[in-house]
A and B are shown apart, each in its own frame.
Chain A
Amino acid sequence: NAGVTQTPKFRVLKTGQSMTLLCAQDMNHEYMYWYRQDPGMGLRLIHYSVGEGTTAKGEVPDGYNVSRLKKQNFLLGLESAAPSQTSVYFCATGHRAGVNEQFFGPGTRLTVL
């Protein structure tokens, strides 16, 4: 099993360009999350999904959009990238029932020039 995978691993964008980050999971988890990690700030939740076809905003949603058309995939889009979006992005998944840990992907390092 691959677990949680993220595509791409690295990307450099120019200001104003758009891109989509893909998160895929083979763990059959209901919940999926997108976080960004910045030095000294820990992880901050961007958007999350509690099931196929549903999405919700997290702590820092501005400038990002998401879609969950299939249970196994969660896409994060940047419509017009800004230097403030330079970060490492992590996808995570989790079970719906009970109090369960989240499983993280390896991350995508994005630089916006």
Chain B
Amino acid sequence: AQSVAQPEDQVNVAEGNPLTVKCTYSVSGNPYLFWYVQYPNRGLQFLLKYITGDNLVKGSYGFEAEFNKSQTSFHLKKPSALVSDSALYFCAVEGRSGAGSYQLTFGKGTKLSVIP
């Protein structure tokens, strides 16, 4: 079985400061990892993914994530936070089921608040 942990329910950061949203995972085989963002009363939007290769993945809106295989982590980062980054962030891992279909398992989400 696969799982994702987001250890922080909420992260507060001052505008202009770097931000990190933490994620650790557990999966059999190679991990396929994703970050999604959800703004209030909206569906989830894809930010970035890791499949293979470079451990630093760049995504939308200036976000990036660092894959660390030894620590089974995939932390989301941004060098300089904006107030408009305030949202709910979800980490997800993809596993390949016996039926050959692809399912995502989501973490419980981290609420990011960027303070002006």
In the complex, the answer to whether A41 meets B44 with C-beta atoms within 8 Å is: no
In the complex, the answer to whether B106 meets A43 with C-beta atoms within 8 Å is: yes
Interface size on A, residues (CB 8 A): 24
State the Cβ distance, A66 to closest chain B Cβ, in Å.
Answer: 14
Kindly state the separation between the CA atoms of A90 and B43 in the bound complex, as whole angstroms. 7
In the complex, the answer to whether B49 meets A101 with C-beta atoms within 8 Å is: yes
Which of B36, B41, B49, B107 is the one whose CB lies under 8 Å from A99?
A: B49
In the complex, the answer to whether B107 meets A90 with C-beta atoms within 8 Å is: no
In the complex, the answer to whether B101 meets A56 with C-beta atoms within 8 Å is: yes
Residues 38-55 of chain B, each 1 if its beta carbon lies under 8 Å from chain A, else 0? 000111111001010000
Q: A110 contacts the other chain (Cβ, under 8 Å)?
A: no
Interface of chain B residues 1 through 55 with chain A (CB within 8 A): 9, 32, 34, 36, 41-46, 49, 51
Interface size on B, residues (CB 8 A): 25
Q: What are the residues of chain A within 8 A of B41 when measuring CB–CB? A: 107
Residues 1-36 of chain A, each 1 if its beta carbon lies under 8 Å from chain B, else 0? 000100000000000000000000000000101000
> Do A31 and B101 form a contact, CB below 8 Å, given A43-B90, A99-B49?
yes
State the Cβ distance, B5 to closest chain A Cβ, in Å.
Answer: 11
> Do A42 and B101 form a contact, CB below 8 Å, given A102-B46, A104-B44?
no
> Do A41 and B104 form a contact, CB below 8 Å, given A90-B43, A101-B49?
no
Interface of chain B residues 58 through 116 with chain A (CB within 8 A): 90, 94, 99-109
Kindly state the separation between the CA atoms of A101 and B108 in the bound complex, as whole angstroms. 18
Interface of chain A residues 24 through 77 with chain B (CB within 8 A): 31, 33, 40-45, 48, 50, 56, 58
Q: What are the residues of chain A within 8 A of B102 when measuring CB–CB? A: 31, 94, 99
State the Cβ distance, B33 to closest chain A Cβ, in Å.
Answer: 10
Which of B44, B51, B100 is the one whose CB lies under 8 Å from A43?
A: B44
Kindly state the separation between the CA atoms of A102 and B103 in the bound complex, as whole angstroms. 10
